[in-house]
Amino acid sequence: MSEFARKICLLGDFGVGKTSLVARYVRNTFSEKYLTTVGVKVDSKEVAHQGGVSKLVIWDIAGKSALDHLNQTYLRGASGLMLVADGTREPTLRSALYLMMQAKSLLQDPACVVLVNKIDLIDRWEILPSTLNELRKTVPVFETSAFSGDGVEAAFEHLAAELRRQS
Amino acid sequence: MTEPGSDTRLESHVFAVLLERVHPLYLQFTPEWGLKTIHGAVAHWRVDSHQHQLVGAVRDLFLGASPEESGELPSVELAGGWIAHVHWLRSSEGIDIILLDARAEVEQHQSKQQESHEAELASMERSKSLDRLRRVKHELERRQAQLEEANSLKTAFLATLSHEFRTPLTAIFGYLHLLEKRLQPDVESQFALRAIRRGATHLFGLSENLLEYGRPEAGEYRLNVVRIDLALLAEDLRIMFVPLAEEQQLEFSVRIESVPLDLCLDEIRIKQVLINLVSNAIRYTPRGQVSVLLRWTGKDFEAIVRDSGIGIPNAFIDSVFKPFNQGVPHGSRGAGLGLSISKRLVEQMHGELQVKSSPGEGSEFRVRLPNLVIGRTPAASLASTGSHGREWLDGGTALVIDDDPDIRELLRLLLEDLGFGVELCVTANEGFERAFALKPDLVIVDLRLPGLSGNVASFKLRAHGYSGRILALSGASDPESRRSAIAAGADQFLAKPIQIEEFVRAVRQATSGS
């Protein structure tokens, strides 16, 4: 039984890999086939750490470049946000940052991390390292690959640790 | 006119149809989320076998915020795979939750959304591909112009390259000779020395042949005719091939018969021809002997290479001089250029190359060359290029990320030689972590690594503010590899095989620019 439980939401443009990141983190699986999300998928994972067991309830919200009324409903009660972009599509980073701005205005001081996904396709990346270096000064940034698993656990663990720290 | 009661019947019918579609499930909780009852379409929601999981998943939905008086969460996929529209009503007695099956509706919506998203993604990819094509077209035009220029530089470049190959190989053979003469090596060292000789001999023949093959077919060919010292040539052949022959327990001999003192030939070419012929003979002779006879017939110079090897079947005898061993059995054992290059070289020296062979008994290659007129002295042919000009750089740290242990070790030695403290890593992630902690002055990263590519390490380092120099190494030398390495954050790009001087220059440039 977990002593500590928090709701986190994944936000980002469609096709950036939010569902795949959750699948990798929760079930350690990956599917090559792109399957769009309708509405929201809610999953959870319990993680043991030095201070006990933490539970993350993860809301994987259908991809949008801006929050509509429905997505705002889904966000209620979230303590943490995971903003996801696709390194091979530069505009998705702008969407992720815009979504972060919108979501922060609806929630009370949520913990945030930015995930720039698809690092396994580095040769096709449009996002520049210098952009992420600048961004990192204001928000934690993780380069991830749901395909290989690189960076995924670290990003979720970072957000979980931040939530524990805030509690 | 409708009959009395028909509206009620219709409403009941509609209600029944809707219930049938949404399979409502009612869950009643206490204000503290203790479960009171579940009823409704319990079989449809697999309550009997999955009640605990379903109730847990429903509770999770309200984590972080107490529900308002009433509300709805549409299209929710719960852990466990249930897809529902979730409605709730809150009162002082607790919370009532209604789950309505939304699978069919969500799947229908999903199919439309999937189509639209895929179309949008495909359109983005198309526009990227068009951009790439435009870039490729531009690049092709630029390269065509460069090729014309490069073609005119090729001859000069090959001459330089040939020189560059010969100088270090000369050193290798020389020192090998010294080691074999001076040391009394144990069995393992003997094996190692033989392996080095075998590799170096192969490399020598290969590089000479490839360079020759790259030259224009006709014209522009200048013979470098010198007065030739056949005793020296014979000694070179012995030094090069006796250890290889001994390894196969073959008898190997080089004999000189009645040669005039003023015999003039193109020394480099005849040596190349003989190396090709002898190395072929040894390769295809499992037992017996290989002999070389150098002689003057009174009219021509002849070099005869005989072996007691496997021979060449009659059907293939006409194909042996074709490049890349087209149609010749056993062709896969060499690069397949030796005999075709040899024939070309002999013809350039106005001579002829003939072959006789009996399968199972052996082969004989006969080179016949006229005495040529002296054109130049042999002085410059194997002149040294001097040292590599390595100088110690002033300290500094370097991190090498490469999965090939030989290359890693070679880079370590070279960098230490240049005055660096060196650390070694194998994967992109390990390299990134180490470089991030160490902050070295220089990172050398191979692009092809197990797992994530070396470009990931460069990218992540730059994305974390690393400002040292990054030198990318790659087995590929195409512009796209170079572009992506630089885009990922490398300062310089070097294609393998690493030329020592180029590497040293690149390291020096990298460190002087930092």
Q: What is the pLDDT tens value at each position of chain B, 514 positions in all? A: 556 667 888 888 888 888 888 999 999 999 999 999 999 999 999 999 999 999 999 999 999 888 888 899 999 999 889 999 999 999 989 999 999 999 999 999 999 999 999 999 999 989 988 888 898 888 888 888 888 777 666 655 655 565 566 656 666 766 676 677 667 777 777 777 877 876 777 677 666 666 665 565 544 456 667 778 788 788 878 877 888 888 889 999 999 987 776 788 887 788 889 988 998 899 889 999 999 999 888 888 999 999 999 998 888 888 888 765 544 555 445 546 678 878 888 988 889 999 999 998 999 999 999 876 543 333 333 333 333 333 444 568 999 999 877 678 778 877 887 888 899 999 999 999 999 888 999 999 999 888 899 999 999 999 999 999 999 988 776 777 888 999 999 998 887 656 566 677 778 777 765 4
What confidence score (pLDDT) does residue B343 get? 87
- Partner-chain residue, chosen from A14, A122, A136, that has the shortest CB–CB distance to B117: A14
Residue of B nearest to A56 (CA): B60
What confidence score (pLDDT) does residue A75 get? 95
The tokens for B106 are 């969500």
Partner A contacted by B460 (CB < 8 A): yes
- The partner residues of B358 in beta bridges, in order of sequence, read B362
Nearest CA to B365 among B389, B346, B384? Answer: B346
- The partner residues of A6 in beta bridges, in order of sequence, read A56
- The partner residues of B293 in beta bridges, in order of sequence, read B255, B304
The CA-atom distances, in angstroms, between B386 and each of A44, B171, B204, B390 are: 68, 12, 20, 11
**Best residue in B108, B109, B131, B460 to probe A by mutation, most A CBs within 10 Å?**
B460
Between CA B198 and CA B32 the distance in angstroms is: 82
H-only helix segments in A32-81: 69-75
State whether residue B386 is helix, strand or coil.
Answer: coil
Contacts of A1 in chain B (CB under 8 A): none
Nearest CA to A157 among A51, A65, A75? Answer: A51
Cα atoms found within 13 Å of the Cα of residue B179, Cβ hemisphere only: 17
Say how many C-beta atoms besides its own lie within 10 A of residue B239's C-beta: 16
**First-to-last C-alpha distance (Å) of chain B:** 93
The alpha carbon of residue A94 is apart from the nearest alpha carbon of chain B, in Å, by 16
Between CA B281 and CA B289 the distance in angstroms is: 9
Which B residues in the span 463-492 are in contact with A, Cβ-Cβ below 8 Å?
463-465, 484, 487-489
Contacts of B79 in chain A (CB under 8 A): 42-44
Contacts of B74 in chain A (CB under 8 A): 39, 70
- Partner-chain residue, chosen from A39, A79, A132, that has the shortest CB–CB distance to B76: A39
The alpha carbon of residue A73 is apart from the nearest alpha carbon of chain B, in Å, by 7
State whether residue B444 is helix, strand or coil.
Answer: strand
Residue-wise pLDDT tens digits, A25-50: 999 999 988 899 999 999 999 988 88
Q: What is the DSSP letter of B476?
A: -
H-only helix segments in A41-89: 69-75
**Best residue in B33, B54, B58, B61 to probe A by mutation, most A CBs within 10 Å?**
B61
Contacts of A62 in chain B (CB under 8 A): 113
Inspect the interface and report whether the beta carbons of B78 and A130 lie closer than 8 Å: no
Dihedral Cα B500, B503, B509, B513, nearest 10 deg: -150
Nearest CA to B492 among B463, B475, B469? Answer: B469
> In the predicted model, what is the mean pLDDT of chain A?
94
- The partner residues of B492 in beta bridges, in order of sequence, read B471
Residue of A nearest to B458 (CA): A129
- Partner-chain residue, chosen from B78, B451, B453, that has the shortest CB–CB distance to A42: B78
The tokens for B8 are 């009620």
Residue matched to tokens 């009171």: B36
**Percent with pLDDT over 90 in chain A:** 84
Cis omega (within 30 of 0) on the bond before B323?
no
Inspect the interface and report whether the beta carbons of A76 and B64 lie closer than 8 Å: yes
What confidence score (pLDDT) does residue B399 get? 95
Partner A contacted by B109 (CB < 8 A): yes
Q: Which burial class, exposed, middle or buried, applies to A129 when counting CB atoms under 10 A from its CB (0-12, 13-18, 19+)? A: buried
What confidence score (pLDDT) does residue B383 get? 30
Between CA A154 and CA A143 the distance in angstroms is: 10
The tokens for A159 are 């957000």
- Partner-chain residue, chosen from B60, B455, B456, that has the shortest CB–CB distance to A42: B60
Inspect the interface and report whether the beta carbons of B463 and A141 lie closer than 8 Å: yes
State whether residue A59 is helix, strand or coil.
Answer: strand
Residue of A nearest to B451 (CA): A148
State whether residue B257 is helix, strand or coil.
Answer: strand
What confidence score (pLDDT) does residue B514 get? 47
**Best residue in B459, B461, B462, B481 to probe A by mutation, most A CBs within 10 Å?**
B459
Residue-wise pLDDT tens digits, A67-105: 888 888 999 999 999 999 999 999 999 999 999 999 999
Dihedral Cα B107, B111, B116, B119, nearest 10 deg: 140
Chain A residues whose C-beta is within 8 A of a chain B C-beta are 5-7, 14-15, 34-44, 57, 62-63, 70, 73-74, 76-79, 89, 119-120, 122-123, 125, 129-130, 132-133, 136, 141, 143, 145, 148, 150
State whether residue B472 is helix, strand or coil.
Answer: strand
Partner A contacted by B75 (CB < 8 A): yes
- Asked whether B82 and B60 are in contact (CB, 8 A), the reply is no
Inspect the interface and report whether the beta carbons of B452 and A57 lie closer than 8 Å: no
What confidence score (pLDDT) does residue B382 get? 30
Partner A contacted by B63 (CB < 8 A): yes
Contacts of A6 in chain B (CB under 8 A): 63-64
- Asked whether B379 and B497 are in contact (CB, 8 A), the reply is no
- Asked whether B271 and B348 are in contact (CB, 8 A), the reply is no
- Asked whether B102 and B108 are in contact (CB, 8 A), the reply is no
